[in-house]
Amino acid sequence: MKKYQFPKTYIHTIPIFPLGMINAFLLVNTNGCILIDTGLPNTENKINRVLKKLNLDFNDIKLIVITHAHIDHAGNASKIKSLSAAPIIAHKADLPYFTGEKKMFFCATGWFGRLFSLTGAIQRPYEAFKPDILLKSSEKFGLNDFGFDGEVISTPGHTEGSISVIVENTQAVVGDLISSGILLGGIIRTNRAKRPPFEENPLKVSQELKTISDQGVSTFFMGHGGPLPQVEVLRHIEKLKTVANK
């Protein structure tokens, strides 16, 4: 029996902030599109701009993946869901933050994270929502039913409920498991991996990145900066191990 061939998927970056500072992503093939992350509240025009360029609109979005509960990724989920009518998939461990029941806590990884926390910008509440599909513990969710060769996997560490999307076994969108550039991410040095401003469990992050890399993923797309080749991610994994041992 011939295996069903999915059409080739393209990963388009949606600049929520310019210069790679905050990215969302659109997976596109001839079957439609999947949105990964929704950006800060009231930034739907940034997503619309990319959709339009591709001759698509919000109705073409078949699924919304929320990589984790931080406001720069989940902050506009409720609005995008109402514009697109697409279901939202996310991880159960971050559910109390999506629904606003619990306030996020932030483990700063350096001076920028600490300073950024002080501004209060990242702790702002956003419109609460309830994901339609919830991954539990290390569950996976195949994207074949949506017409895509890919899967959503659980990758805890940045937050407990962080998830990533593997596309065609060779590319991955990993949210904030890793970032690059300076400050929030992006601007310059975008080819150099670094820890995001906040990270709950560096050892767990290094393990999840290693698992994705071992699967044969060669290009990593991320919420801040990037994309990064596998070799740079492997370098970062080694660095994270020393951080975790301190």
Between 24 and 33, name the residue whose CB sits nearer to Zn ion: 24
Between 72 and 208, name the residue whose CB sits nearer to Zn ion: 72
User: How far apart are alpha carbons 124 and 143 in whole angstroms?
Assistant: 32
The secondary structure element, H or E, covering residue 154 is: strand 150-154
SS (H, E, C) 163-174: EEEEECCCEEEC
Between 70 and 204, name the residue whose CB sits nearer to Zn ion: 70
CB of 2 to Zn ion, least distance (A): 41
- Determine if 70 is a binding residue for Zn ion (CB under 5 A): yes
CB of 29 to Zn ion, least distance (A): 26
CB of 94 to Zn ion, least distance (A): 10
The residues in 196-225 that bind Zn ion, with binding defined as CB under 5 A, are 223
Structure tokens at 219: 């290009």
Between 9 and 75, name the residue whose CB sits nearer to Zn ion: 75
Applying CB under 5 A, the span of 84-92, 117-125, 176-184, 205-213 interacting with Zn ion comes to 176-184
Query: Which residues face 94 on adjacent strands?
Result: none
Between 62 and 70, name the residue whose CB sits nearer to Zn ion: 70
What character string, x for contact with Zn ion (CB under 5 A) and - otherwise, covers 142-171? Answer: ------------------------------
Between 59 and 123, name the residue whose CB sits nearer to Zn ion: 123
3-state DSSP call for residue 26? strand
User: How far apart are alpha carbons 164 and 139 in whole angstroms?
Assistant: 12
Burial class of residue 51, CB neighbours in 10 A (0-12, 13-18, 19+): buried
Name every residue whose Cβ is closer than 8 Å to that of residue 115 and which is 6 or more positions away in sequence: none
What is the residue type of 44? E
- Selected from 72, 94, 149, 199, the binder of Zn ion by CB under 5 A is 72
Between 8 and 189, name the residue whose CB sits nearer to Zn ion: 189
- Determine if 37 is a binding residue for Zn ion (CB under 5 A): no
- Which residue, chain included where needed, has tokens 């009231």? 42
- Selected from 176, 177, 180, 193, the binder of Zn ion by CB under 5 A is 176
Applying CB under 5 A, the span of 96-104, 112-120, 128-136, 173-181 interacting with Zn ion comes to 173-181
- Per-residue CA distances from 23 to 38, 39, 66, 135, 161 (Å): 9, 7, 12, 23, 19
Helix axes 44-53, 77-84, angle to 10 degrees: 40
| Site size for Zn ion (CB under 5 A) | 4
Interface residues toward Zn ion, by CB under 5 A? 70, 72, 176, 223
